[in-house]
Amino acid sequence: MDYLETMFSLKGRVAVVTGGAGGLPSVIAVALAKAGASVCIWGRGTGHPIAEAIAAIRDAAGAGGAAGGTGAGGGAGRIEGVTVDVGDRGATEKALAETEALLGAPDLLVNGVGGNLGKSAFVDIDEEKFVEILKLNLLAGLVTPTRVFARYWIGKKIEGDVINMTSMTSYKPLSGVWGYDAAKAGTLNLTEALAKELAPNGIRVNAIAPGFFIGNQNRSLLIDEASGDLTARGKSIISRTPYGRFGDKGELAGAALFLASRAASGFVTGVSIPVDGGYLSDNI
């Protein structure tokens, strides 16, 4: 256990998880806290109230609150929250300062903001919605917060770590989700580009590519609400997933801890780890 503690402990680390009230980012937040990191959940507070998310994540991690330090979970770190729109650079800079005052200097950024807004044939694309999806996933979901953190880390000579959220669409386009396809392909591209640019400053940039996990945003696309059966799209996905099932959210935790731990992955940068049940390896 001493070896595992040395390899994967995040004690003393301070992490920010943007979009942390969402389903997949919140799982990563719990994992980081359980490994000992102090975690600040960032979110706009619309749709996923921050206070409720913090309470749920503290409970799942066994972590303490603002005055409690670690909780009954043993080594779990503190969990706090900040309401912020990470698509706004000024607001992001302010949230970073607020986080530093709460928990100390953050040295780990998980870019969890993202999502899709509908599906259509290409000839029926709504250009305004396309741009909105790009702004959500590529600007708020990567560019703006990473720019703010990178400048902060370089200025303070902090060797920080970034974990982005890529997607199956970073590798293979999915039909009808044009803006999301473009944004997530860009996320993979910029993950690799930033890894190269920031490496001389000791900053690592990696990503996790979740396969298909059922959440609030995609549930109606994958499961028929009336019958509970898989939709045609859900059946198609399962038929192309060698494991023959959707992922369990907890299955993202190991990849997150590996990428967050410098002892485990300190020489790893510019990679995107698929957690997909073999979806990307499917062939005929």
Domain residue limits, the chain: 2-211+247-274
Confidence (pLDDT) at 279: 97
Distance of CA 276 to the CA centre of its chain: 15
**Does the pLDDT value for residue 216 go beyond 80?**
no
| CB contact at 8 A, 78 and 39 | yes
Q: Which of 32-46, 148-162, 216-230 has the lowest mean pLDDT?
A: 216-230
Q: What is the 3-state secondary structure (H, E, C) of 82-144?
A: EECCCCCHHHHHHHHHHHHHHHCCCCEEEECCCCCCCCCCHHHCCHHHHHHHHHHHHHHHHHH
Give me the pLDDT at residue 22, please.
87
Full strand arrangement of the beta sheet holding 38-43: 79-83, 38-43, 14-18, 108-111, 161-165, 204-210, 272-275
pLDDT digit string (tens) for 117-126? 888 999 999 9
CA-based R_g, the chain, Å: 18
The CATH code of the domain at 2-211+247-274 is 3.40.50.720
- Residue 102 contacts residue 159 (beta carbons within 8 Å): no
CB 155 within 8 A of CB 203: no
Residue 68's pLDDT band, with cuts at 50, 70 and 90, is very low
Q: Which two tokens stand for residue 173?
A: 């386009």
